[in-house]
Amino acid sequence: MKRKKTLALLLSAAISSLLLVGCSDSDEASSGSSNADTEIKFMHLWPEGSSKKHYDVVNDIIADYEAENEGVKIDLEVLSNEQYKDKLRVLSTSKELPDVGLTWAAGFLEPYVGGNMFAPLDDVIESELSDAFVPGTAEAYALDDVTYGLPLELNIVSIYYNEKMFKDNGIEVPETYEELLEASKAFREEGIQPIALGNRDSWTGSMWYMYLADRIGGADTLNKAIDRSGSFEDPALIEAAAEVQNLVDSGAFVDGFNGLADEEAKSMFMSEQAPMYMIATWDLPNFTTNEDVPQEFRDSVKYMNFPTVDGQGDMNSFVGGPGVGLFVAEDSDVKEEAKDFSAYFVKEWGEKAVEEAGVIPATKVDAASMDLPQMYIDILEELNQASNITMFADVQLSPEVATVHLDAIQALFGNEMTPEEFAKAHEDALSK
């Protein structure tokens, strides 16, 4: 009898400890860390392990800010890219967003703005950051003329190529799209797979489609199709889609590209298995300063703007756009402080980010006064001369349509959809 009691006691203790110990623990945690008067929660996606330089720049800025603003403490949470997106998703359903966090532009922020989760930041831009941003970047975070994000990065897409591989095989570096096709064929004849493409992450294939659309139809056709003043069934866009399949059929891309991750494709380029690779400027450190990459390879990498197609198109028109930007949560208890911190962060970010982490910032920086690798200087110059930057389609589109777009891209590249069906899939999704 006695034994029975003790056992029952033990078990109920076990169960209640399951349910109660937790609560007391969390009380402790929240009371223990609230020494500072104001606490700003900041969530970002540059973990120390993979993005040490970004991580350090962020910590530097935070340390400076805390030193200058006594009583303010920045409470940091760091997640990896995918996990960051998923967590933001979960937090938003419970209206528990961090005070400051990172968002992507355009389509990505639509649902958050629709749900009143992000605070308008026009007042911050006007008072503290007027004329700080590269034109067009802050606008990418605006919906109905209200800006909800402060851009941090600006990326443009180019074709990077391995000059040495061209030379070794006696193949001319192409200057037009037709020459690009010729060069691809020449590489194939040498038994070399010409263009590294990891279309399992189909935003990479999307960039090829977008450039072809830009060169064939001009800078506006695709944008108009997306903002519904035009159509994906525009002949130029159908032609661009058909040209994608022509590229595929001519064997320009590496084998099995639809099953490769971008990272695998990149490694083919970086291990000199493929001479060409289209990517955005976030990979510049790999081609310039990253000591883990052999010097010889970095020396032989050059870039070209996407060439003209059939003599048409403006080579100063780019695909690209701002990457991540800062948002401030609308229902934050420390909204004003959070805004102040964001503005400070953006001001500090630009030069530090480009110099220390190799990020092309969305704020204007004085490249001449900095010690940068030549390729950075060239790319920054390209940016100055850019006639247009068309934002990544999967960023421009709302998340729902973006998913359709990315699936359709895979199907188009896999010859499972005709250009007409490709156009129709977009029209159907956009008209919903």
Count CB-CB contacts under 10 A for residue 209.
25
Choice between 177 and 203, CB closer to another protein: 203
Structure tokens at 170: 């006696």
What is the nearest approach in angstroms of another protein to the Cβ of residue 385? 25
Choice between 192 and 365, CB closer to another protein: 192
Query: CA dist 237 to 302, 305, 310, 347, Å?
Result: 29, 20, 15, 40
What is the nearest approach in angstroms of another protein to the Cβ of residue 90? 5
Choice between 267 and 308, CB closer to another protein: 267
Choice between 1 and 67, CB closer to another protein: 1
Q: Are 334 and 167 in contact (CB under 8 A)?
A: no
Torsion-angle region of 406 (φ positive above 0: left; ψ -120 to 50: alpha; else: beta): alpha
CA-CA-CA-CA torsion for 158, 378, 60, 79, nearest 10 degrees? 0
Question: Computed over its alpha carbons, how large is the radius of gyration of the chain?
Answer: 25
Choice between 88 and 216, CB closer to another protein: 88
Choice between 78 and 105, CB closer to another protein: 78
Count CB-CB contacts under 10 A for residue 247.
22
Choice between 161 and 203, CB closer to another protein: 203
Q: Are 181 and 247 in contact (CB under 8 A)?
A: yes
> How many angstroms separate the CA atoms of 226 and 220, rounded?
10
Structure tokens at 116: 């009143």
Q: Are 79 and 45 in contact (CB under 8 A)?
A: yes
